[in-house]
Amino acid sequence: MLKQPTRTHETDLTDDELILLDGMFVLWDSFTIDNLLGENFQEVTELEYCHSLRREEVVKTVNVFASRKFVVLHPMTSGNFQISLNSAGLKAWEDEHAPDWDRYCSHLMKIDYDEDDNEEWSVTIFSPVLPLIYQFLDTALECGLLVDVQRDQVEFNHRQDEVWLGWIEFNDFYRLTFPCGPVDEDMEVDWELYETRRNWWGDLMELGGLPPE
């Protein structure tokens, strides 16, 4: 099941501050104050929970995070600023959620176009554990999350001593890219089957509902 991840209370962050940090983890390298406001937070982050902070409290928290070097503020010509999460913020996030990185597996869809302007879809699945990628792929195909994956045309990328998001260090990190069929919102996905098979996490809601090994 999907749910808000639990916290360890290893930091002095309030629950609302940690929820803001969760949103920053999702958005990571380029977001604004408006993205973090309560009325926008869930839509922008796709999290199913939200903080209770008013605008002035969000601004104050971001400034406190900047003073603690959790985030970096990048001024814009409009007078506003872009925000990016820093390594200290990532460490605080990791201290609070204690994620099992050996069970991390996520994916990204991409659309390219050929010379005749036809769509060419691909999926990149990434994880520090190679067998987990294939477990995800098998489940995604069976439940309908992915279609027409061409396994024999895989682009295999393996890096050692990978530093991810400027903080997380992996001895090994794999990215496998496959051509695949188009994916749209109207596709019927058997999410019950997906959750039954899932022993990985790829986002915060999956982390919160990660079943025991």
Same domain, residue pair 19 and 83: yes
> Which of 27-36, 95-104, 122-131, 166-175 comes out lowest in average pLDDT?
166-175
Q: 30: domain CATH number? A: 1.10.10.10
The residue among 97, 128, 161 that closes a domain is 97
Average pLDDT over residues 131-138: 98
Split at pLDDT 50, 70, 90, the class of 133 is: very high
86-106: per-residue pLDDT in tens? Answer: 989 999 999 999 999 999 999
Domain annotation covers residue 174: yes
Q: Residue 167 is encoded by which pair of tokens?
A: 């903080």
How many structural domains does the chain have?
2
User: For residue 203, what pLDDT band results from cuts at 50, 70 and 90?
Assistant: very high
- Whole-number pLDDT of residue 30: 87
Domain of 178?
101-208
Q: Are residues 138 and 65 in the same domain?
A: no
Residue 163: predicted pLDDT: 82
Identify each DSSP E strand in 19-154 by its residue range.
71-75, 81-85, 106-113, 119-127
Residue 42 lies in a domain: yes
Tell me the average pLDDT of the chain. 94
Highest mean pLDDT among 6-20, 24-38, 79-93: 6-20
Answer yes or no: do 118 and 193 share one domain: yes
- Whether residue 213 has pLDDT greater than 90: no
Spell out the long-range contacts of 54-62 with Cβ–Cβ below 8 A and sequence spacing 24 or more.
57/16, 58/20, 58/33, 59/33, 61/16, 61/17, 61/20, 62/20, 62/33, 62/36
Instruction: Assess whether 27 and 123 both reside in one domain.
Output: no
Indicate if the pLDDT at residue 79 is higher than 80: no
